[in-house]
Amino acid sequence: MYKESTNAVVKHLINRLRDVRTASNEFRLTIEEISRMIVAEALADFPTITTNINTWQGPLDVEMLEVQKIVLVPILRAGEPMLTGILQTLPYARSGFLAMKRDEETSLSKLFYENIPDNLEDKTVLLLDPMIATGGSLIDGIDYLKGIGAKRIISLNILGSPYGIQKVQEVHPDVDIYIAQIDERLDENNYIRPGLGDAGDRAFNTK
Ligand code: URA
């Protein structure tokens, strides 16, 4: 299943990202904001646990998200602002990291660093990758997480192409995708059009 946001605020923020006058600091903050909105959609029905808290009138049993069952995994580097944003909403969630680099010639991604919490079997992994272009890095990231035991993976994304989303769904139909915006197409260089350029470069002013 994939779900594209229909929220007008999300669409507004996506168009801020497209604008080249949006400098890297604002770009990252905007990714953080969109990510918080997307995670709220993705976890709308997530299990809760009765927790006793101290309120201004004394102890009270309330329903809280089972945050200890959530692991956030950004695909570096472009996924980093998504992690920063979501950790503001879920500060007690655990985080792991996957670093992948796309080969500009072949558009294939290569894993060169990983550090993931143990015991993924009973967790929900929220995989954070802003751009689904060919779907390659996301498919590789999901392959890796399943290989080390992940049973439930939700993909949170900012911008995607119809081609990339279809590919990910073909290979991993059990992974739900929550995405802010699906654009028109991939171009001949595997960039998303109209897109926003290279998300990592935009976020960190690399080029
Ligand atoms: N990665 C990006 O950052 N942008 C694209 O358009 C495609 C892949």
* 162-171 helix and 136-147 helix, angle to the nearest 10 degrees: 20
Query: Does residue 10 surpass a pLDDT of 70?
Result: yes
pLDDT over threshold 80, residue 28: yes
User: Mean pLDDT in the chain?
Assistant: 96
Radius of gyration in angstroms for the set of CA atoms belonging to the chain, rounded to a whole number: 17
Evaluate whether residue 192 is within a structural domain: yes
ipTM for the assembly: 0.95
Fill in the DSSP letter of residue 175. S
Give all strands (DSSP E) within the chain, no chain letters: 2-4, 48-55, 58-65, 70-76, 94-95, 97-102, 109-115, 124-128, 131-132, 152-160, 176-182, 185-186, 192-193
Whether residue 54 is contained in a domain is answered as no
Whether ligand 1 lies within 6 angstroms of the CB of 191 is answered as: yes
Nearest-atom number in ligand 1 for the CA of 130 is: 3
Q: Which of 28, 102, 124, 202 is catalytic?
A: 102
Residue 152 lies in a domain: yes
Euclidean distance between CA atoms 148 and 144, whole angstroms: 7
Task: Indicate whether 61 belongs to any domain.
Answer: no
| CA 19 to ligand 1 centroid distance, Å | 15
- pLDDT band of residue 107 (cuts 50, 70, 90) is low
User: Has residue 53 been placed in a domain?
Assistant: no
The residue segments making up the domain with residue 11 are 2-47+66-204
Q: Count structural domains, the chain.
A: 1
pLDDT digit string, tens, across residues 179-191: 999 999 999 999 9
Q: Which two tokens stand for residue 124?
A: 């929900």
Q: Quote the ligand 1 centre to 17 CA distance (angstroms).
A: 13
Is 172 among the domain residues?
yes
Say yes or no to pLDDT of 110 above 90: no
Overall pTM > 0.80: yes
Annotated catalytic residue within 19, 51, 103, 106:
106
119 part of a folded domain = yes
The answer to whether position 58 is within a domain reads: no
Binding site membership of 31 for ligand 1 (Cβ less than 6 Å): no
- Confirm or reject: Cβ of 163 under 6 Å from ligand 1: no
pLDDT at 108 over 80: no
CATH of the domain at 151: 3.40.50.2020
